[in-house]
Structure 1
Amino acid sequence: MSTSLLYHTQCIRDYQYESTEYKDGHVIFNIRRKFFNCSKCNCPQVSVTISRERLIKGEKIGRKLFFLKVPVHRIYCSQCKSTTIENVSFISSPKARITRSLERTIVELRSEMCISAIAEFFGLDWKTVKDCEKRHLEKKFRYIPLKNVEVIGIDELYVKTQGREKYITIVRDLESGAVLYVGDGKGADSLQAFNLKLKHSEAKITTVAMDMSKAYVSWGKNSLPEALIVFDHFHVIKLMNEKLDKVRRRVAGEIDEEQRKLLKNQRYLFLRNVENLEPDAKQLLDNLRNVFKELGDVSMMKEGLRSIYQISRNCSQAEAAFKNWCAIARQTQIKELEAMSKTIENNLQGIIAFWKTNKLSNAGMEGFNNKVRWLIRQAYGFQDKDYFILKIFNLPNTKTEAVS
């Protein structure tokens, strides 16, 4: 009966139950292997001697911690004359101290429980739980197919974990949402390993969505010359908001203390979309635009830029609207608007490609970046770099409400 229990509760075969011990509130099964073969020639004609005993933790029985006491034998084969040490078949590696069944249970619980909670429940060190999940993720993401990928998004992310600050570059399949690559740093150098993967996979990338970083644009043109580069509206408006905020800070520095009080704590009033403002907030924004003409002009130009994406139906309409916007921006002689108009003119083909690709957006990458930041906060930082990268690969399958 207890041998059957070994199989049905711990998924252990080829071992025979011998006796049970109860010690310190734990349940301990003494088991032994039923038969022996030579691991090299598979010959059954072997002699065995006990080398040592091992205590291996299995899945809990009720509320009791459960252990397996198993003798490890030295095996001598009379046919091939070799001496080997018995492999314990129900553990994942020779030095493992928990059963495969317990490892599978830990992996299954990780989507619902944090590492420390699982460690406490099974009486394990938290590093053991982490290592179980890490081995599972390494196996899961050992090979990432690129052959059928056509549309990718590239973005860099600034991360700070365990006091270390750095950039990482993330490449995702924008159709399936899968993470294809995570590289250290930003720019073309961070994508060198991804270049090798693309060559070996013979992938046919048709579209690349990115921000207007010169380094990424250069990489796209050199590595994927046939692909269409798209600068989606999210990054264009984000850059315009940065220019607007820069003007706000500059104007605040040029006015006196009384006027500065009017602009205090009004940063997001200018950055929010007008249609999302309450009536009182809209009135306040109109008043501030009238009082601070330069800031008001830039704010109106931001809304004009947004309206291009709302009104334009095709590439030709969008191109004409952007050129007209750039001409008006230069006439204002506001240096921030002049810089923005130059950026748009230099990247116009990538910007209007937004309409060629049925308004393809890389905004999902920004949402994914927020999930990465959430991941870091939940774990209070990551000391293991490889584990951190594997967790990023697994993020599309992770519930953000669960604790990491």
Structure 2
Amino acid sequence: MSVGVEALFTSALGLVPPWEVEKVDLDTERRRIDFEVRCNARTLACPQCGTAAQPVHDRLRRSWRHLDFFQFEAWLHADVPRVKCGSCGKTTQATVPWAREGSGFTMLFEALALSLCQGLPVLQAARMLRVRDKQLWRRIEHYVDQARAKQDMSKVRLVGIDETSLRKGHNYVCVVHDLEGKRLLFATPGKDHETVEAFAADLEAHGGDRTAIAHACIDMSAAFALGIGKSLPNAQISYDRYHVVALANQAMDEVRRVEWRGEAQQVQQALGDLGSRERRSILWAMRRNPSGWSPTQAEAMHWLQRANLKSARAWRLKMALREVYARARTHNDAGKAAADLGQWISWARRSRLESFKRLGATLREHFDAVVRGMLDHRSNAFVEAMNGLMQQAKRAARGFRTAANFIAIAYLRLGKLTHLPVSPFAAAMPRTSGAYAH
């Protein structure tokens, strides 16, 4: 090829002297383009100690996979100099400007791979790039660890702690989110109290202060509560309203299931008047807010109230608990919130519905933290949403081989890491006005 082509690709690859493209070999049958890169210098600065103008001792052959050029797989090849330093006495291989040390990919290729893995399963991204998925996992772990090491957690004050499942068989990962920054701070296998201590140590390693954590929003996990008491001494615990209402929904569903499968003649006679469509309408209407009911669901719920079944009482209890939370949010009065919750617990205990009696006892046991969760208006809804995204990623990947892979993807997608390589396909500079006008 002409000299102009080599100069063009030297510029396209971002090379500066003493590096330049010496030869370009295009193989259309193999759909591949190879660039021979040369270092023209006979002396270089020592990579070890920085002493200038040290002689090149020898050169070692290396190759790197690069971004595709058009539809062609691209490779860079170079005889990389080794510098013999008279100052430190070491012979060290020079660094190349297009790749990090020890990698068989250029930095631009790795940046592309990371950007693809932020939205695609790693195996699918590997197939698109025509590499092995294990190669991508190594790059993800490297860059995620590098970016997390630079993360600043000094301003973290409010955290949400929860667990998410890794696979069947009680394999869990504890996740800690910054409720103000809306980012994943920490993830580790397990869901016992020691996971909170691991978070506190990681927080301090990133410039944070465990004593500065003022609030921790959790579900009713005794392990997390114990861990917060030991490792986050100034954090007030509030039990997330999302989980409390979810417990009420579970209690309501339990009442409905037991009643509808029962053999009581009165119940079966009442339900016998309903077709399968009406039963489904009741089931979904009980789980939704009345404002979201369809006309069919509204009619079905009207029937349920007139039928005077236990399911109707369970639904009224669930809705009453939601109303307790709504009033607490409106009035922001600790005394009134505590009184309203106390009345609801008393009603639940007198309801003769076993699932709600258990729920009432649970809320009484954690009364102060539940009231605090009612008043501070914080919840783990964001944490649950992020857990949903993590589970979605797990399903798309058909599971992860290890907890480390699961956690690495969670950090990559949810950690808001600010020190990752920039995608090579970032938007180009906008054209200046009139630059291409005819």
User: TM-score normalised by the shorter chain: which range applies?
Assistant: 0.7 to 0.9
Change (3 A) 1:112 1:10: farther
Which amino acid counterpart does residue 11 of structure 2 have in structure 1? H
Q: Which of 330, 340, 346 is matched with 2:359 structurally? A: 340
Could you state the TM-score of these two structures normalised by the residue count of structure 2?
A: 0.79
1:234 match: 242
Q: Which of 218, 225, 247 is matched with 1:217 structurally? A: 225
1:303 match: 319
Change (3 A) 1:43 1:225: closer
Secondary structure of residue in 2 paired with 1:221 = helix
Equivalent residue runs for 1:223-372 within 5 Å: 223-255=231-263, 258-259=268-269, 262=274, 265=280, 266-291=282-307, 293-312=309-328, 313=331, 314-357=333-376, 359-372=377-390
Instruction: Give the Å deviation of 1:389.
Output: 0.8
1:54 match: 62
1:100 match: 107
Change (3 A) 1:19 1:270: closer
Q: Which of 32, 36, 51 is matched with 1:30 structurally? A: 36
The answer (yes or no) to whether the contact 1:10–1:58 under 8 Å persists in 2 is no
Q: Distance in 2 between matches of 1:291 and 1:375?
A: 44
The answer (yes or no) to whether the contact 2:197–2:227 under 8 Å persists in 1 is no
* Mean Cα deviation higher: 286-295 or 343-352: 286-295
Q: Which of 147, 158, 167 is matched with 2:172 structurally? A: 167
* Mean Cα deviation higher: 282-291 or 203-212: 282-291
Q: Distance in 1 between matches of 2:82 and 2:160?
A: 55
2:400 match: 382
Which amino acid counterpart does residue 297 of structure 1 have in structure 2? R
Count of paired positions: 393
* Mean Cα deviation higher: 361-370 or 26-35: 26-35
Identity score, percent:
21
The C-alpha deviation readout for 1:251-287, integer Å capped at 9, x for no partner, is 2332269556658545333222233222332232232
Instruction: Give the Å deviation of 1:47.
Output: 5.3
1:177 match: 182
Instruction: Give the Å deviation of 1:153.
Output: 0.7
Instruction: Give the Å deviation of 1:101.
Output: 2.9
Change (3 A) 1:97 1:2: farther
Change (3 A) 1:81 1:315: closer
Instruction: Give the Å deviation of 1:61.
Output: 2.8
Q: Which runs of 5+ in 1 are unaligned?
A: 399-404
Instruction: Give the Å deviation of 1:228.
Output: 1.9
Query: Root-mean-square deviation (CA), in Å?
Result: 3.0
The answer (yes or no) to whether the contact 2:121–2:393 under 8 Å persists in 1 is no
2:20 match: 16
The C-alpha deviation readout for 1:39-69, integer Å capped at 9, x for no partner, is 4453635353445x33322233333332223
* Mean Cα deviation higher: 260-269 or 224-233: 260-269
Secondary structure of residue in 1 paired with 2:339 = helix
Which amino acid counterpart does residue 263 of structure 2 have in structure 1? I
Q: Which of 128, 135, 144 is matched with 2:142 structurally? A: 135
Which amino acid counterpart does residue 67 of structure 1 have in structure 2? W
Change (3 A) 1:317 1:143: same
The C-alpha deviation readout for 1:67-97, integer Å capped at 9, x for no partner, is 2232245555566654445554532123x22
Secondary structure of residue in 1 paired with 2:98 = coil
Which amino acid counterpart does residue 351 of structure 1 have in structure 2? V
Which amino acid counterpart does residue 278 of structure 1 have in structure 2? S
Q: Distance in 2 between matches of 1:304 and 1:123?
A: 57
Q: Which runs of 5+ in 2 are unaligned?
A: 417-438
Q: Distance in 2 between matches of 1:224 and 1:50?
A: 55
Q: Distance in 2 between matches of 1:205 and 1:159?
A: 27
1:401 match: none
The answer (yes or no) to whether the contact 1:65–1:122 under 8 Å persists in 2 is no
